[in-house]
Amino acid sequence: MQYGIKEVLDLTILNYATKKPVSFIDYALASTNEVTAERTPIKGGRGMAKLMEFDGEKESVLNVTIPLVDLSLLAHIAGDELINETTAEILQTDRLKVNDGKITLTKEPIGKVSVFEIEGLRDFGDEVDAEFTDKDGTVEGSDGKEVFAIYQYAAPKGAKEIKVRTDKFPQEVELHGKGIARSQEDGLDYPVNVTVHKARPQADFTFTMEGTEPTELELVFDMAAFKDSAGHSTYISYIFESTPEGQDTP
């Protein structure tokens, strides 16, 4: 009953209360289960020798590293739902050259458009007068020069929004993982199923956008005790199947 395990788990994450699916992850870099416990010794006598020990305060966490940004999962970690059709307004800064006293914006503006001459490579210079009809503008006194045009435009249809609100925190989830384990006895791969019965994602997360490395999300799920069908208080369950991967279960 010895197995070699190399592959990462495919994870299905459900909302614990509603059982509504939150995310399916079949692209994780790593999924790690950590179990910790406290051991309290009793000491006494000459030299304060250790007489006995008590174990307790067992805790378990699941760490998941994902290299793709799942918007629904990120919204859940932020404590809110993904907004699938946002009506937000977005700031746009266009760098444009004035030709014959005219410029054309890249987006349809909402409200005021502010136009500034460019000093040096990218500094804001003096604001100049400009009038706009939809995307087309007439600029005074800056012909042949480059300008910045700053304005708001409506998020396009289908744009999604994630809000990190100050008073919202992630809800409890249930996680189901499926992987494979290779038997040392026959060299075949067998399905292994992992169930985290009840957990809450940690509210801390780091979302980095940089030019040298792809974005990775490090997620930590703190497990809570769950009363299983046998009446045991359980954090996580592992089921190693007896039929090799890809074969029908007898």
Distance CA 175, CA 21 (A): 10
Q: Single out the residue of 19, 59, 51, 11 nearest to residue 217, CA to CA.
A: 11
Q: Residue 63, class by beta-carbon neighbours within 10 Å (0-12 exposed, 13-18 middle, 19+ buried)?
A: middle
pLDDT at 130: 93
Q: Residue ranges per domain, the chain?
A: 3-37+56-82+163-240, 89-154
Distance CA 222, CA 11 (A): 16
pLDDT at 188: 92
Average pLDDT over residues 206-228: 89
pLDDT at 211: 86
pLDDT at 104 over 70: yes
Confidence of residue 249 (pLDDT cuts 50, 70, 90): low
pTM (2 d.p.): 0.82
Q: What proportion of the chain, given as a percentage, has pLDDT over 90?
A: 78
pLDDT at 141: 82
Q: What proportion of the chain, given as a percentage, has pLDDT over 70?
A: 99
pLDDT at 248 over 90: no
Q: What is the pLDDT of residues 124-147, one digit of tens each?
A: 998 999 999 999 999 988 788 899
Q: What is the pLDDT of residues 70-89, one digit of tens each?
A: 899 999 999 988 999 999 99
- DSSP 8-state assignment for residue 93: E
**Domain 3-37+56-82+163-240 - what CATH class?**
mainly beta
Place of tokens 């760098």: 95
pLDDT at 15 over 70: yes
Task: Give the sheet arrangement for strand 136-139, strand by strand.
Answer: 102-104, 136-139, 130-133
The half-sphere exposure of 233 on its side-chain side, counting CA atoms within 13 A, is 7
pLDDT at 250: 60
pLDDT at 142: 79
CA angle 209, 210, 213 (to 5 degrees): 110
